[in-house]
Amino acid sequence: MATPGCRDFQNSFESWMEGELPPEARAHVSDCRSCARLIEDLSSIRLAANEWNASEEPPARIWTSLRAQLVEEGLIREPQSKQKSGLLHGWFPQTPRPVLAGAYLAALVAIAFSMVGPVKRHVNHQRWMEGTENSTAMLSAQLNTAEQNVELADPNPVITASLHQNLAIVDNYISLCEKSVSEDPEDEVARDYLFDAYHTKADLLAQISERGDYGR
């Protein structure tokens, strides 16, 4: 049964939550087992809540799915070949596209797609995954070789920095897509995005190559 002291304590307790108890409240608590237990319990709850605050990394598929939705709604630009050039579009909008310069890189993507295909529905998923891994490894290696052979240095340091930045963005995107596919090999959207990411990088390298040829 609450004593008048307890009632006073209870009525004022809410305003003391965040700070020290005033002396009269401390005096009451030292004499009242019930209110002392209350303080002890609430402290335990705060402590347990604080320990519950482990920040958790959300799965990569949230961004993959969110991005797809944003593209579908037209809120962000789909990285299709014409718009992919938007990564560099601001720097050299008038650059013509010599056919031969990007042919090798375009062929890489075409070969990869013809070997496995970005999405084959209703197929054995294990086989698809194995095929994807092989194809991805080969395509990834070829893209890396192509990247090493492409001249990334431009006389204009701003453009050079931009090229590196754009490649880093695409590489991050590829890593993200690879992670999504490895987390959920049956996620067809993730597979689509992985191949699209490779396509984006190939296209970007092709444009850099074009830029180099044009500048020479």
Partner 1 sequence: MGCVPAGNVARTRRTEPGELPEPDAIRLAQQGDAAAFERLYRLHNRRVYSLCLRMVSNTAEAEDLTQEAFLQLFRKIATFRGESAFSTWLHRLAVNVVLMKLRKKSGNETSLEEVTEPDEESGGPRRDFGAPDLRLSGSIDRVNLQRAVEQLPPGYKSVFVLHDVQGYEHNEIAGIMGCSIGNSKSQLHKARMRLRELLHEALRDQAREERKVAGTASGSGGED
Residues that bind partner 1 (CB under 8 A): 2, 6, 10, 13-15, 17-18, 33-35, 37-38, 40-59, 61-63, 65-67, 69-70, 73, 75-77, 79, 169
Shortest Å distance, C-beta 55 to partner 1: 5
Closest alpha carbon to 194 in 98, 117, 83: 117
Which tokens hold the place of 158?
A: 């701003």
Torsion sign across C-alpha atoms 7, 13, 15, 19: positive
- Taking the least distance from each CB to partner 1, the nearer of 42 and 119 is 42
Shortest Å distance, C-beta 139 to partner 1: 22
What amino acid is encoded at 211 in this protein? R
Query: Cβ atoms within 10 A of the Cβ of 123, count?
Result: 11
Which tokens hold the place of 117?
A: 């295909």
Distance CA 129, CA 75 (A): 31
Shortest Å distance, C-beta 202 to partner 1: 18
Shortest Å distance, C-beta 203 to partner 1: 15
Task: Collapse the DSSP code of 40 into the 3-class scheme (helix H, G, I; strand E, B; otherwise coil) and give the result.
Answer: helix
